[in-house]
Structure 1
Amino acid sequence: MPVTATRDAIKTRQLLLEAARRRFAYDGYGATTVRDIATDAGVNVALINRYFESKEGLFEACLTRAVEDLDEPASRAGDGAGLSFDEAVADLVARVVDRPGGDQPLELLLLLRSSGDERADVVRRRTLRKYSEQLARIAGWAPGGSDDLVLRAQLVLSTIFGVVIVRASTGLDLQPLAGAGSDRLSGPLRDVVATLLRPRP
């Protein structure tokens, strides 16, 4: 395949992924059509089948991308990476509230969406469990240890999901949370996360 054609294929695939992630995250799997995605991406709808085989295949590709987006920062926090506990918490919160243009974290919204496809749901469950365990490591959890710290990490994750959902729900408009900027949101959210995850004596 000529180099130019390869570049065009990569660009088209990326455009479809970006459009699909936003549609799936905000509208849900069932309400999103392949025509919506193709229109947003500015490409022919037939290219979805060419690059992803189906709407389900495109959703799985979006989930895979979400996993990759979450894996690096969670691993960085969970493995310490030279961060103190407070720095790790601040890093986690910043990735939720400090988004370019005020966007919500699409990778988190995607993980709340189900396609009804068992393969995709397995990926979602596995990712959420792994993410929880990586967050629990901030508090000193190690594989094989008590699930208490994993439970605390899942409570953190649930809190973060709740914040993201409220802020992404345009019809809800629950103020002041929905309109709060990172300057107002970061401190209280850090307090909640730190209270749940701070290592116990």
Structure 2
Amino acid sequence: MDPRRRDAARTRKALLDAASRRFAADGYASTTVRDIAEDAGVNVALINRYFGSKEGLFEACLMNLVEESRQEASTGPDRIAESIAGLIAGPKGDRGHREFLPLLLRRSGDERIDQLRVGFLRYYTERLATAAGWHPGAGDDGLLVRAQLVLAASIGAVVFRSAGLEPLATADEGDLVGPMRDLVDALLLRDTGPSAGE
């Protein structure tokens, strides 16, 4: 690989990781591109070079999260709990995008950013609901509501981990699979047909 391309990829990743942490800690409006560049150890001009603007960097963080979660959200119903546990815990030392998840719950004050934020939440819950048997336009959004509750609980778990609340803060993927399976089974994989509850 061309060394210049490798350096550009490394710089881009450093900016994405630093931005994810800053946006999560300070919110979109309070985060400055200068803070992000300083955290990443690069010249602030590189944010415009690689992402065009602060908004472009936020969108790139969001798209990175979409790519990271695409496989988890589209997995088969028998693997949903394991995939979400992996998304919450993730590899050790790779906390940037997981720390970014709670930011999806906060309004930024920027209409375009809020549209991106809500769009991601909608995308992810629709993929979860589809994996559990939901079909768009079927007229029954009960399963979609349950998928939204699963995602809300997952983001809540990341908030607790970020706050250092034990034992969740140091739980690994294996520790989370069982409880997450209970949640997914109760909310997503129970009988959702018209005869349920009759």
TM-score of the superposition, structure 1-length normalised?
0.79
Equivalent residue for 2:135, pick from 132, 142, 163: 142
Q: What residue ranges of structure 2 are gaps of 5+ in the alignment?
A: 194-198
Q: Which amino acid aligns with 1:22?
A: R
Q: Give the conservation status (yes or no) of the 8 Å contact 2:129–2:144.
A: yes
Q: What's 2:151 paired with?
A: 157
Q: Give the conservation status (yes or no) of the 8 Å contact 2:51–2:57.
A: yes
Q: Which amino acid aligns with 2:162?
A: A
Task: Tell me the alpha carbon deviations over residues 47-83 of structure 1, each in whole angstroms, 9 at most, x when there is no partner.
Answer: 22333333222212212222222223212x2xx3xxx
Judged with a 3 Å threshold, the aligned counterparts in structure 2 of structure 1 residues 21 and 14 are, in CA distance, closer, same or farther, namely same
Find out whether 1:126 has 2:125 as its counterpart: no
Find out whether 1:174 has 2:165 as its counterpart: yes
Q: Which amino acid aligns with 2:54?
A: K
CA–CA distance in structure 2, aligned partners of residues 183 and 9 of structure 1: 35
Q: What's 2:102 paired with?
A: 109
Q: What's 2:180 paired with?
A: 189
Name the Cα RMSD after superposition.
2.5
Q: Give the conservation status (yes or no) of the 8 Å contact 2:85–2:176.
A: no
Percent sequence identity is 53
Q: Which moved more, 1:101-110 or 1:154-163?
A: 101-110
Instruction: Give the superposition deviation at 1:113.
Output: 4.7
CA–CA distance in structure 2, aligned partners of residues 59 and 102 of structure 1: 18
Q: Give the conservation status (yes or no) of the 8 Å contact 2:73–2:80.
A: no
User: How many residue pairs get matched?
Assistant: 189
TM-score of the superposition, structure 2-length normalised?
0.80
Judged with a 3 Å threshold, the aligned counterparts in structure 2 of structure 1 residues 102 and 176 are, in CA distance, closer, same or farther, namely farther
Q: Give the conservation status (yes or no) of the 8 Å contact 1:24–1:110.
A: yes
CA–CA distance in structure 1, aligned partners of residues 9 and 93 of structure 2: 25
Q: Give the conservation status (yes or no) of the 8 Å contact 2:29–2:109.
A: no
Structure 2 SS opposite 1:101: coil
CA–CA distance in structure 1, aligned partners of residues 127 and 118 of structure 2: 14
CA–CA distance in structure 1, aligned partners of residues 151 and 162 of structure 2: 16
In the TM superposition, 1:24-173 aligns within 5 A as 24-75=23-74, 77=75, 80=76, 85-101=77-93, 103=95, 105-106=98-99, 108-145=101-138, 146-169=140-163, 173=164
CA–CA distance in structure 2, aligned partners of residues 187 and 106 of structure 1: 22
Q: What residue ranges of structure 1 are gaps of 5+ in the alignment?
A: none
Task: Tell me the alpha carbon deviations over residues 113-172 of structure 1, each in whole angstroms, 9 at most, x when there is no partner.
Answer: 543222221122122112111111232111112100000101111111111111112xxx
Instruction: Give the superposition deviation at 1:27.
Output: 3.3
Instruction: Give the superposition deviation at 1:110.
Output: 4.3
Structure 1 SS opposite 2:169: coil
